């Protein structure tokens, strides 16, 4: 599922931001994908809390493998894999984007 460089530990996988959507309810929906685009971790955060804590969105997060959801659609997997490659080329894992 992930390259050796994308494994933080035996049960942890580095996932990269591939999609971010702002909702009309003041939330940010983020999707982080494995390098091959085959699995994702969805995360939803309040923009208010992000501002209060001074936290931004990082290019990558380390995710427990058990928390990953499979991506069923081949076209979406390919799109996510291409986006991971683009983000990895332009940003370090801890860069805020």
- In tens, the pLDDT along 5-53 reads 554 456 999 999 999 998 888 888 999 999 999 999 998 888 777 666 6
Alpha helices by DSSP H, listed for the chain, are 47-53, 74-90
What is residue 56's predicted lDDT score, i.e. its pLDDT?
74
Q: Domain residues of the chain, as ranges?
A: 4-90
Are 81 and 39 in contact, with CB atoms under 8 Å apart? Answer: no
pLDDT band (50, 70, 90) for residue 66:
very high
Neighbours of 90 (CB within 10 A): 10
Does pLDDT of 73 surpass 80?
yes
Are 55 and 84 in contact, with CB atoms under 8 Å apart? Answer: no
Predicted TM-score of the model (pTM): 0.81
What is residue 55's predicted lDDT score, i.e. its pLDDT?
67
- Alpha carbons 82 and 68: distance in angstroms, whole number: 19
Are 38 and 53 in contact, with CB atoms under 8 Å apart? Answer: no
């Amino acid at each position: 599922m992930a390259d050796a460089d994308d494994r933080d530990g035996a049960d942890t996988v580095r996932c990269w931001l591939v999609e971010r959507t702002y909702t009309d309810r003041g939330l940010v929906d983020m999707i982080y994908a494995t390098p091959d685009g085959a699995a994702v971790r969805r995360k939803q955060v309040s923009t208010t809390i992000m501002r209060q804590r001074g936290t931004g969105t990082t290019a990558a997060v380390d995710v427990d493998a058990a928390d990953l959801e499979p991506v069923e659609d081949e076209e979406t997997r390919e799109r996510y894999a291409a986006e991971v490659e683009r983000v990895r080329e332009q940003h370090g894992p801890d860069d805020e984007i």
